[in-house]
Structure 1
Amino acid sequence: MRKAIIAAATSLTVLFTMGTGSALAGESTLTSVVNSVYGTPYKYGGVTTTGFDCSGFTRYVFKKLGIDLARVSSAQYKQGTAVAKSQLQAGDLVFFNTSGTSGRVTHVGIYLGDGEFAHASSSNGIKIDSLDSSYYKNRYVGAKRILSKYTYAKYAVEA
């Protein structure tokens, strides 16, 4: 699966630059931050590299990019601008209902492009899955673009 994340990194067209004071130096891609924690185990309530839950993972990645997110997936779903599934761009948050309770957001991941997203799987830790897998396709709730057009223009560079 490590090869899959490296392949996703090469297909990304969105680059993010790091703010000053960041733990990562210089310029970095969204995927390089994901790569740095790929395989980290799942931990309920986890927000560090010793273990992440889904929203702890997304919050960690965006914090490395200088962007603050709410702590839980349902609160993250209230941030940003809604994006149609057909308009997803790398860096958009994708949300799911994994509880079966109608309309409830219970899981979040980061869209990487080419139909794939990174997330904290409760059974496998940080990994990549397809939005088209039967499990996630049937539980998809929506997506949010956290970065405004201005922020994309300032921090994202087309390859």
Structure 2
Amino acid sequence: MRLKVKSLCLVLAISLVFSTLFSSPNAVNAEFKQMPTAGVYVNGKIVNGINPILYNGEYYVPIIYISKILGYNHIIFEEGTKTYQLTDGSTMIRVTMGGTMAKRGDGYINIKPPLWTEVDKTGYLPLSSASVLFNADITFQKSDGSIRITTPANFHLVQKGDTLWRIAKAYHTKLDVLKAVNNLTSNTIYIGQKIKLPPKDQVQEREPEKEHEEPKIIQKPSGANLADKLIAEAKKYIGAKYKFGATLAEAPNLFDCSSYTQLVFLNNGVEIPRVSRDQASIGTKVSSLEKGDLMFFTTPDLYSDGRVGHVGIYMGNGAMIHASSSKGVTITENVLQNPYWSKNYLFSKMVIE
């Protein structure tokens, strides 16, 4: 009898260990395996290492580390809901442990639920979910135990709840274009299927729906014209370096494109959103540029969904001042005649009058 009681206690103890290790709603007692440190290759070049786990036959990676590798350096964790908010300067992602949907920009995408571990107090993303969240092709290479990442994504990995219409909307293309690229004659798709993404000239984000949302004026300007004051403020930071997902706490030494515009406007009493995608939703679209307008561009070498990926401030006389990923805070003359910027220009918005 004593032996049976001891055996029962041992079983309960083991069960308790597993149930506290994974406190996510999807499963708490399934077996997992800690994998050796994996080298992380981005577009064929090794950039870092990461410690994945194998759970229910799928590889998971720590959210914080995979986010930073992909440039989402501004990370906020909400303890109460076990939610991570990740920002790279273009897009804000919100993902909750155990959730089957995540917010990317102003839309929602289906994902396989991430896990929360009590042992190291951190969240893990399955590679399939990381792929759709970060617009990248992410796989585990069994031959050498590495994580291979291709950016921007060439495929969308179908998740539970996906439809072709939702996928087309998420990648800013049309349903018939998506079907044609994949030689599909019906709308039937299955979980795990790779849906090839259209070429870059067939995906482009249009102006966000919140076209006329107004910025928050927290201090009325006085003295000089506000547009002139904005440009004068913007010039103060010329030469500052660029960092994906830079926070305002890192200013004025480090900026991303949208933390730069946010700070310039904030220091002139105008509060605008944090990321370029959300900044594109305020103000009024203009066809004729004026000093102080925000200019928005896509970044095809980073995102395959044609999203707003960059923002700058129009200075007048054809010039734009902005935080460039290659040059830091700089001025680009004749921006709409520049081969790169003119090709990727989307639209501009009047934020101040």
Please classify the TM superposition score into its range, dividing by the shorter chain length. Answer: 0.7 to 0.9
User: Partners of 2:259 and 2:338 in 1: how far apart?
Assistant: 23
Kindly name which structure, 1 or 2, has the bigger radius of gyration based on alpha carbons. Answer: 2
**1:141-152 correspondence to structure 2 within 5 Å:** 141-147=346-352, 152=353
* Structure 2 match to 1:90: 291
**1:1-159 correspondence to structure 2 within 5 Å:** 19=219, 27=224, 29-46=229-246, 47=248, 48-84=251-287, 87-99=288-300, 101-129=304-332, 130-147=335-352, 152=353
For the residue of structure 2 that corresponds to 1:82, the secondary structure is: strand
Q: Check whether the contact 2:299–2:306 (CA below 8 A) recurs between aligned residues.
A: no
**Displacement of 1:45 after TM fit?**
1.6
**Displacement of 1:102 after TM fit?**
4.7
Q: Check whether the contact 2:284–2:349 (CA below 8 A) recurs between aligned residues.
A: yes
For the residue of structure 1 that corresponds to 2:299, the secondary structure is: coil
**Displacement of 1:26 after TM fit?**
6.7
Q: Check whether the contact 1:117–1:131 (CA below 8 A) recurs between aligned residues.
A: no
In structure 2, what residue type is equivalent to 1:44?
A: F
TM-score by length of 1: 0.72
In structure 1, what residue type is equivalent to 2:348?
A: A
In structure 2, what residue type is equivalent to 1:91?
A: G
In structure 2, what residue type is equivalent to 1:34?
A: A
Q: Check whether the contact 1:55–1:73 (CA below 8 A) recurs between aligned residues.
A: yes
Q: Check whether the contact 1:103–1:141 (CA below 8 A) recurs between aligned residues.
A: no
User: Partners of 1:62 and 1:118 in 2: how far apart?
Assistant: 13
In structure 1, what residue type is equivalent to 2:264?
A: V
Q: Which runs of 5+ in 2 are unaligned?
A: 1-218
**Displacement of 1:131 after TM fit?**
2.5
* Structure 2 match to 1:157: none
Corresponding residue pairs, total: 126
**Displacement of 1:103 after TM fit?**
3.8
In structure 2, what residue type is equivalent to 1:41?
A: K
**Displacement of 1:119 after TM fit?**
0.7
User: Partners of 2:328 and 2:294 in 1: how far apart?
Assistant: 18
Pick the structure with more helix per residue: 1
Higher relative contact order (CA 8 A, sep 6+): 1
